[in-house]
Chain A
Amino acid sequence: FSLLSLAVNVDLQTDGTLQVDISDALSERDKVKFTVHTKSTLPSFKQNEFSVVRQHEEFIWLHDSFVENEEYAGYIIPPAPPRPDFDASREKLQKLGEGEGSMTKEEFTKMKQELEAEYLAIFKKTVAMHEVFLCRVAAHPVLRKDLNFHVFLEYNQDLSVRGKNKKEKLEDFFKNVVKSADGVLVAGVKDVDDFFEHEKTFLLEYHNRVKDASAKSDRMIRSHKSAADDINRIASTLYTLGTQDSTDVCKFFLKVSELFEKTRKIEARVAADEDLKLADLLKYYLRESQAAKDLLYRRGRALVDYENANKALDKARAKNKDVLQAETTQQICCQKFEKISESAKQELIDFKTRRVAAFRKNLVELAELELKHAKVTSPHLLLVKN
C-alpha cells in the first residue's frame, strides 16, 4: 500500500520539511509493531532521518493528548486509527483448521490461501490507517509542531504508555455521557454566525448518513465476499467431478471449474476493491465528520462559556462585586471563543475540500476498477463457451 493509493490521503500538503510514513510492520501474537519512519529538515530533530517502533496504544496516547490540549480546541483533530482487529480472521483460520478433515486437500489449501490473503489485507489496511493519522498530523500547520508528536516520532524507547485501566476507562465512559448530554444542550443554542449554523446542521445530518452508508456498505461487501467463497467451492466440486473420468462431459467440467476459479478470484478482487474504495472511504469520513462535530461542540461550548461569562460580568457590575475577576474571565472566554471560531472556519472549509477530493478520487477509481474487472471476466466466459 503506497501512501498515494490511500483513500483518504488526498490533497495533503506534504512538503519536504516533514515526511512521515510507516516503513514496516510486524504482526505478533496480539499486537502489531509499526516502524515509524521520519524524514525531516526541521532543526528541532536531532537527525534528518530516523525510525522508531510504535504500537497502537502509543498512537492513541498521541491522539488523546491532542484532544485534551486546550490549545488545539479550534482544530479538527485527525481521527485516531482503529485498533488492529484480526480476531475475525483468526477465528476463521481456526475454524478452517478444525474442519480440515471434512474437505479435500485442494479445497483446504485453497481456503487457507484465501484466508491468509484476507489476513494480509486486513493487516495492510491497519498499517494504512495508522499511517494516514500520522500524515494528517504532519501536514497540519499547527499540530506538526506539537511536542508530543515530536517525541512520538523521535524517542526511540518505549513511551511506556499503557492502555487505560478499568478506572480510567470508566472515567472516559462518564466523560462521554456528560459530553453527549452537553452536546445536545450546546447544539440547541442557535448560533449567530450563519456559516457555523449551517455547518452544524449539515454535519449532524451528514454524519448520521455516512454512518448508515458505512454500515450498509460493509454488509453489502460481506455478501459479495460470501458469494465469491461459494463460487470457490463450486469450482472445487466441479473439479472433483471433472476428475472422475475422462469423458467429454468431465473435460467440460474441468474447463468450467477453471473458469469459476478465475471468476471467483475476480469477484473477490471486486469485493476487496469496493471495500477499499467505498467502505473504507465512508468509514474514514465517519470518523472525520465526528472529529468535525467535536470541533463544533468545543466551539459551542466556548460560546456558551462566553455568554455565561458575559452574564456573570453584567451581574457583577450590577452588584459591583468581583468585577475585575468577572472581566478577566469574560476576556479569557472571549479570546478563546474567537480563536476557536477563526481556526474552526478554516478547518471546516479544508475538511470540505478534502472530502470532495477524496470522494472524487475514490469514486473514479472504483468505477475504473469495476470496469477493469468486468472486462477481464468477459473473455474468460467466452473462451469456455466455445
Chain B
Amino acid sequence: MERKPPPFPDSEEQEAHSEKAEEESGDDDDDDDDDGGEDIFTGNDLFSEEGSYPGVQEPSVDNQHASNGLRSDDDEQDLFAEARVELSLDRSSTKGIREVTRSSPSAPDISYKSSTSKMSFEKPEEEESNDKFELNIAVTHPEKVGDGMNAYMVYKVSTQTTLPMFKSRAFSVRRRFSDFLGLFEKLSEKHAQNGYIVPLPPEKSVVGMTKVKVGKEDTSSTEFVEKRRAALERYLHRVVSHQNLLQDPDVREFLEKDELPRAVSTQTLSGAGFLKMINKASDAVNKMTIKMNESDNWFEEKLQEVENEEQQLRKLHAVVDALVNHRKDLCGNTAVFAKSMAMLGNSEDNTALSRALSQLAEVEDKMEQLHQEQASNDFFIFAELLADYVRLLGGVRNCFDQRIKTWQRWQDAQSTLQKKREVEAKLLWANKPDKLQQAKDEITEWEAKVTQYERDFERICATVRKEVLRFEKEKSNDFKVHIIKYLESLLVSQQRLIKYWEAFLPEAKAIS
C-alpha cells in the first residue's frame, strides 16, 4: 500500500489514563503494531477463508482503499485489527474488576469499518494485580441460509482470546440476528434491574430483511447487510467491554456454544421493542408523579443532561443522514456529468481540447468514486455512531428509571410495613392473640423486606453512578476515536482529490 494514513498514536490515547494504564501499556504496545493481528492469525484456518459476500459495489480504483463496506482480501489477515480488547483480570476481586484497554486500530485501512471503539478506564480505588488478557471479537461472513420468506442471514462470530474462562483460544460460531436479540433479552432481564446499562443491539428491520429474503441482490440490500453486520459487531464489543456482562455465562455461551436454542421470544422483541417498553414504563413511572426525595441532586442533573444530549444527538444524526443522502446524490450527479463531459469531448473538434475534456470526464469519474466512499464513511463512521448513542442513551434513561422503581419498591415496602404495624397495634388493642402472631410474623417479614429493598436501592444508586461514569468515558472515547477516524477519511479524500486535479492541470494547460 503506497500511502498509509498515520496510525493512531497509541500513546496519545493512553495518556489520558492513569499511570496504571501506562504501566500496563508496556505490554500493549507490542500488540498494537500493525503486525499484531498477523501473529495470531497466520496459519489459522478460521481466518483465512474467503468471505462469501453478496454482490459488492465495484472495487475502488485505488488499491489503497478497500471497497465499500466489505472487507477486501487484504483485511483477512487483519480481521481483528480493530477488534482488540485487552483485559486484565483482577482475580482477587469477586466483582471481576479489571482494567480494559483497547488498542487503537492500527490497520492501514482507513475506510469506515465501524468496529473501532476504544475504551480505556480503570477503577480508581483498587490496586490490581493485572494479567494481560486479550479478547478479540469479529462478526463477519454474512451468509444467507434458506430462501423465500423463511430465509435468514447467518453471521460468523469469531472470538480469539487468552481469557481462561473460555474453553479454547480461538473459536467461532454461527449466529443469526435473533440470537443476538436473545442475548440482549437475557442480559437485560438479569442486569437492567440492578442499574446496569445494558448495550442495545441493532434494530429489527422488516423492510431491510424482506429485501434480503426476497433475494434482491442490489446495493441497498448489500448496504443493509453490511450495516447490520457492523452494528452487531459493535454491539458485541460493547457487551464484552462491560466487566459485569462479560462474566455472565450467557455471554460466554453465546460466543462459544455451537448450537444455541432458537430465541423464539425475540420474534417480536428487539432493541427498539424493548426501548418502547422502557419508554412506556418510564412514562407510567412519571405519571405516578413520583416525587423522589432526591438526597442527591446528582441523579436529577444527570438525567436532565442525558435527555438533552439524546435530543441533540438525534438532531445531529438527522443532519448527518441528510449529508449522506446529499453526497449520494452528488455521487450520482457527478457520474452523469462525467459521461456528459465525455460526450462533449468527443464532439469537440479541437484535438487538444477534446483530450482535455475527456480527461476532465475521467477526473469527475474519480471524484464520483471519492464521493461514494465519502458517503459511506459519513454513514458508517459518523451516522451509525450517532444512531448507536441515541439508542444507548435510551438505555441510560432506563437505568435511571430502574433506580426510581427500586426506590418506589422500597417506599412501598415501608408503607406496607407501616400498615402491618398499625394492624398489629389494632390487634393488640383488640386482644386477639392468634391473629397477633400472624401479624408479628408479617411485620418481621416486611421489616426484612424493607431492609433488603433499602440496601437494593443503595446498591443500585452506586451502580448507576458507576455505570454512568463508565458510560460517559466510553462514549467520550468512542466519539473521539470515531470522529478522528472520520476526519482522517476526509483527509485522505482531500489528498486523493489533489492527486487527480494535479494530474489534470497539465492537460488543461496543453490546450491550444
Q: Which residues of A contact B (CB under 8 A)?
A: 202, 205-206, 209-210, 212-213, 216-217, 219-220, 222-224, 226-227, 230-231, 233-234, 237-238, 240-241, 244-245, 247-249, 252-253, 256, 259, 263, 352, 355-356, 359-360, 363-364, 366-368, 370-371, 374-375, 377-378, 381-382, 384-385
B472 to chain A, nearest CB (A): 8
A7 to chain B, nearest CB (A): 14
A263 to B356, CA, bound (A): 29
A359 to B329, CA, bound (A): 27
A214 to B498, CA, bound (A): 24
A219 to B336, CA, bound (A): 10
Q: Are A223 and B494 in contact (CB under 8 A)?
A: no
Please give, as numbers and ranges, the residues of chain B lying within 8 Å of A216 by CB-CB distance. Answer: 333, 336-337, 340
Q: A224-B330, A359-B356, A385-B484 are in contact. List 9 more A-B contacts (CB 8 A).
A: A213-B344, A230-B320, A238-B316, A356-B512, A364-B509, A367-B501, A374-B498, A377-B494, A385-B488
Q: Are A213 and B340 in contact (CB under 8 A)?
A: yes
Q: Are A360 and B511 in contact (CB under 8 A)?
A: yes
Question: Which residues of B (486-501) have their CB < 8 Å from a CB of A?
Answer: 487-488, 490-491, 494-495, 497-498, 501
B341 within 8 A of A: yes
Residue of A nearest to B475 (CB): A249
Q: Are A374 and B494 in contact (CB under 8 A)?
A: yes
Given contacts A244-B308, A374-B501, is CB(A384)–CB(B487) below 8 Å? Answer: yes
A252 to B497, CA, bound (A): 27
Residue of A nearest to B9 (CB): A386
Contact with A247, one of B322, B334, B356, B476 (Cβ below 8 angstroms): B476
A271 to B508, CA, bound (A): 20
Please give, as numbers and ranges, the residues of chain A lying within 8 Å of B320 by CB-CB distance. Answer: 230, 234
A378 to B313, CA, bound (A): 27
Contact with B319, one of A224, A234, A355 (Cβ below 8 angstroms): A234
Residue of B nearest to A270 (CB): B497
Contact mask for chain B residues 330-366; partner A; CB cutoff 8 A; 1 contact, 0 none = 1001101100110110111110110011001000000
Q: Are A244 and B334 in contact (CB under 8 A)?
A: no
Contact with A371, one of B326, B337, B476, B505 (Cβ below 8 angstroms): B505
Residue of B nearest to A229 (CB): B326
Residue of A nearest to B495 (CB): A378
A214 to chain B, nearest CB (A): 9
Contact with A249, one of B349, B476, B490, B494 (Cβ below 8 angstroms): B476
Question: Which residues of B (343-401) have their CB < 8 Å from a CB of A?
Answer: 343-344, 346-350, 352-353, 356-357, 360
A–B complex contacts, Cβ < 8 Å, 14 sampled: A213-B337, A247-B476, A248-B16, A249-B476, A253-B479, A256-B487, A352-B349, A359-B353, A360-B508, A363-B356, A363-B511, A367-B508, A375-B498, A377-B490
Contact with A370, one of B309, B319, B329, B501 (Cβ below 8 angstroms): B501
Q: Are A219 and B337 in contact (CB under 8 A)?
A: yes
Contact with A210, one of B344, B488, B504 (Cβ below 8 angstroms): B344
B422 within 8 A of A: no
Question: Which residues of B (135-159) have their CB < 8 Å from a CB of A?
Answer: none
B445 within 8 A of A: no
B248 to chain A, nearest CB (A): 29
A53 to B283, CA, bound (A): 68
Q: Are A223 and B505 in contact (CB under 8 A)?
A: no
A359 to B491, CA, bound (A): 30
Q: Are B337 and A217 in contact (CB under 8 A)?
A: yes
Q: Are A249 and B480 in contact (CB under 8 A)?
A: yes
A213 to chain B, nearest CB (A): 4
Q: Are B312 and A240 in contact (CB under 8 A)?
A: yes
- For A223, A231, A247, the residue with the greatest tally of chain B CB atoms inside 10 Å of its CB is A223
B502 within 8 A of A: yes
Please give, as numbers and ranges, the residues of chain A lying within 8 Å of B315 by CB-CB distance. Answer: 237
Please give, as numbers and ranges, the residues of chain A lying within 8 Å of B491 by CB-CB distance. Answer: 378, 381-382, 385
Please give, as numbers and ranges, the residues of chain A lying within 8 Å of B475 by CB-CB distance. Answer: 249
Q: Are A233 and B326 in contact (CB under 8 A)?
A: no
Please give, as numbers and ranges, the residues of chain A lying within 8 Å of B348 by CB-CB distance. Answer: 206
Contact with B479, one of A206, A252, A355, A377 (Cβ below 8 angstroms): A252
Contact with B333, one of A219, A252, A367, A378 (Cβ below 8 angstroms): A219
Please give, as numbers and ranges, the residues of chain A lying within 8 Å of B512 by CB-CB distance. Answer: 356, 360
A352 to B16, CA, bound (A): 65
Given contacts A202-B349, A223-B329, is CB(A252)–CB(B480) below 8 Å? Answer: yes
B323 within 8 A of A: yes
Question: Which residues of B (289-317) have their CB < 8 Å from a CB of A?
Answer: 305, 308-309, 312-313, 315-316
B483 within 8 A of A: yes
Q: Are B487 and A385 in contact (CB under 8 A)?
A: yes
Please give, as numbers and ranges, the residues of chain B lying within 8 Å of A226 by CB-CB distance. Answer: 326, 329-330
Given contacts A212-B343, A252-B480, is CB(A259)–CB(B312) below 8 Å? Answer: no
Please give, as numbers and ranges, the residues of chain B lying within 8 Å of A359 by CB-CB distance. Answer: 353, 356-357, 511
A216 to B483, CA, bound (A): 33
Q: Are B353 and A227 in contact (CB under 8 A)?
A: no
Q: Are A230 and B511 in contact (CB under 8 A)?
A: no
A382 to B498, CA, bound (A): 16
Please give, as numbers and ranges, the residues of chain A lying within 8 Å of B353 by CB-CB distance. Answer: 355-356, 359-360
B327 within 8 A of A: yes
A223 to B305, CA, bound (A): 36
A361 to chain B, nearest CB (A): 9
A78 to chain B, nearest CB (A): 21
- For B305, B315, B347, the residue with the greatest tally of chain A CB atoms inside 10 Å of its CB is B347
B119 to chain A, nearest CB (A): 13
B89 to chain A, nearest CB (A): 28
